[in-house]
Amino acid sequence: MELPLTPPVQPMLASSAKGIPEGNFAYEPKWDGFRSIVFRDRNEVEITSRNGRSLNRYFPELVEAFGQGLPERCVVDGEIILIKPGGKRLDFDLLQQRIHPAESRVEMLAEQTPASFVAFDLLALEDRDLTGTPFGERRTELEAVMRTAGGRLHLTRQTLDSATAGNWFESFEGAGLDGVMAKDLDGAYEPGKRSMTKIKHRRTADCVVAGYRVHKSGDDRIGSLLLGLYDGDGVLANVGVIGAFPMARRRELFDELQPLVTWDTSHPWSAGEGESATRTPRSSEGSRWTGSKDLSFTPLRPERVVEVAYDHMEGPRFRHPPSFLRWRGDRDPETCGYDQLEEPVSYDLAGVLQKPGTAAS
């Protein structure tokens, strides 16, 4: 390619904040999909992931859309999303299924569950490298670029009003979005640096600890704890894991949990609870998502309760790994159910997606 920027380019990142900052910021919805940088140089299109890998083979419908809807020579930063059938919200689980090794399945899914793209930055246009240009100016040029894109290509909504951003933060989650971004209007594009701010939902839940995986550094250290919640039928469902512990604490936890280890078939996940619940003590079994990562676990009697912080759910599981807050020795495991979780108010995704070229609100 003869563009002023060529792949791979590491995307600019964001640091977390507890609240929406005030100041010289533009605010945008935080989309929940695959962060991607798109390069188009005439007849060539390259879609790269956050880590610089090509995504072309997984999203042929987007390769075609970029070739038709973007300027002949440009570099655009944005998010690949998948809209749930019916058009009401995003569906990250369906999006993950698009990353499949079989070409025939990729082609089938491209027709059955086609992806879309939301643009939120313009890094290069024709012979111009725009990464040193203030974001406010890049946004103006992006609006012009996206004005005639149409189809599966969208321009992210934007506002300069923090109160409006606060309203988005509360309401857009119901459409499957992940929070709000704040971007310095005078800021340059800094690849790999945390120069943006993200504000995500933080909630707490009391979960049952029903198993553990050992740490890669040794079989006498906890790598992660498997978490469960009881559904309306009293069945303990696997909802995710927590694993961010200091090394010394990993050893202590291993010793603390040994009295709860059980290989009794009465364990609620003895028949398997998805890929993450295998009754083999150690295994090299993997999946297309984890490569050779060990997916086995050691089952525990579901007697201990832990309070965790999480952002939101994706179906019956935590969308991102939650974080440990404290042990809840005062909580009865049987009372740790889905009914404790806060449910976002439903919001139609059509109210979030903006027509290309629409000015900031």
Catalytic residue list: 30
d(CA 308, CA 306): 6
User: In this structure, what are the phi and psi dihedrals at residue 329, rounded to the nearest 5 degrees?
Assistant: -65, -15
Would you tell me how many other CB atoms lie within 10 Å of the CB of residue 98?
Answer: 19
Q: How far is CA 317 from each of CA 124, 176, 236, 306, rounded to the nearest angstrom? A: 39, 14, 12, 16
SS3 assignment for the chain = CCCCCCCCCCCCEEEECCCCCCCCEEEEECCCCEEEEEEEECCEEEEEECCCCECHHHCHHHHHHHHHHCCCEEEEEEEEECECCCCCCECHHHHHHCCCCCHHHHHHHHHHCCCEEEEEEEEEECCEECCCCCHHHHHHHHHHHHCCCCCCEEECCCECCHHHHHHHHHHHHHHCCCCEEEEECCCCCCCCCEEEEEECCCEEEEEEEEEEEEECCEEEEEEEEEEEEECCCCCEEEEEEECCCCHHHHHHHHHHHHHHECCCCCCCCCCCCCCCCCCCCCCCCCECCCECCCCCCEEEEEEEEEEEEECCEECCEECCCCEEEEECCCCCHHHCEHHHCCCCCCCCHHHCCECCCCCCC
CB 78 within 8 A of CB 33: no
Tell me how far apart the alpha carbons of residues 217 and 208 are, in angstroms, rounded to a whole number.
Answer: 25
